[in-house]
Amino acid sequence: MRPIAVTVNGKRCEADVEPRQLLVYFLREQLGLTGTTVGCDTSSCGSCTVLLDGESVKSCTGLAVQADGRAVTTIEALASNGELSPVQEAFHVHHGLQCGYCTPGMIMATVSLLGENPNPSEEEIRRALEGNLCRCTGYTNIVKAVRAAASAA
Ligand code: FES
Ligand code: FES
């Protein structure tokens, strides 16, 4: 086991982890942050996307020890005082989801995209989300939601 200290959603978390523990399982199983989902475990689907020091990463591709001393943001951090964040609200209003399994990853990837490019074109949105797969094929409404979130900002 190895001790790590990670700032997760603004709170410092200290824990002992197996060196081989994936970041996603540290978040889900040790911290109970189950909003981040595991769709494939093989870096293909993006459902496990979180922000690491503000950059979107697939949390099944990294180890918890690699987050030591860094800041992780998960979907749980977005709403505050019972109010959805603008990106969450846009996904809700534009029905950018069907089963919802890919949605946390789509939303975190969108937060990252809009942080870098506040007014993306449809092509830029589709390119930014190409690492995030929606098995329900809800892409049309997802793109609409991202465009709406961009205009709301
Ligand atoms: S669970 Fe991480 S990319 Fe699919
Ligand atoms: S909404 Fe079902 S996988 Fe995307």
pLDDT at position 152 is 82
Ligand nearest to the CA of residue 59, numbered in listed order: 1
Atom of ligand 1 nearest to the CA of 48: 2
Tell me the average confidence (pLDDT) per consecutive run of 10 residues in the chain, 153 residues long. Answer: 97 97 98 98 96 97 98 98 96 96 98 97 97 95 97 81
Verify whether ligand 2 is closer than 6 Å to residue 92 (CB atom): no
Verify whether ligand 1 is closer than 6 Å to residue 27 (CB atom): no
Could you give the CA distance from residue 31 to residue 81 in angstroms, rounded to a whole number?
Answer: 21
Residue nearest to atom 2 of ligand 2 (CA): 99
Give the distance (Å) from ligand 2 centre to CA of residue 111: 18
Verify whether ligand 2 is closer than 6 Å to residue 101 (CB atom): yes
pLDDT at position 141 is 97
Whole-model pTM? 0.96
pLDDT at position 138 is 87
In the block, residue with structure tokens 């978040």: 27
Cα dihedral 128, 134, 138, 142 sign? negative
In the block, residue with structure tokens 């989300």: 129
> Which residue, among 61, 146, 57, has the nearest Cα to 107 in the 3D structure?
146
Q: Which residue out of 27, 34, 44, 106 has the highest number of ligand 1 atoms within 8 Å of its CB and is therefore the one to mutate?
A: 44
